[in-house]
Amino acid sequence: MEPITRSISLSESICRAEGVSVIDMAAILGTIFAVLGASFGFELRWGPIPWGLIGLALGVCASLILFLIAGKGLKPTAAGTKAVVMLIILCEQGDSHKAIEILKQFSAISIGKLD
């Protein structure tokens, strides 16, 4: 069995396909910074709405920076979870490469081939 590692794409990390999500921390910090910006915006020149939007942008940027600094950035990882499923496919010799490509397409953890 040869293990397959692949890089996590940004779209997979956004929708939590690999257990890592960019959106969660961006939403949390964006909300906190937006509330603080709007609260302090009553005392500042531009008012609460622009400062709330500025706070939202700063919170999202801060979360992306923390995401990349924390080492959870888009690193190659082995696809899968703690559960293990073994799939045995019986096919003709000429069709084995098609089965292997389909398994790779759907993020198989490892693939082995018997002749």
What is the average pLDDT value for the chain, to the nearest integer?
A: 77
pLDDT for residue 33: 95
**Digit-coded pLDDT (tens) for 70-113:** 765 555 555 545 667 778 888 888 888 888 888 888 877 778 87
Q: What is the distance of C-alpha 73 from the center of its chain?
A: 8
pTM over 0.75: no
CA-to-CA distance for 52 and 115, rounded, in angstroms? Answer: 64
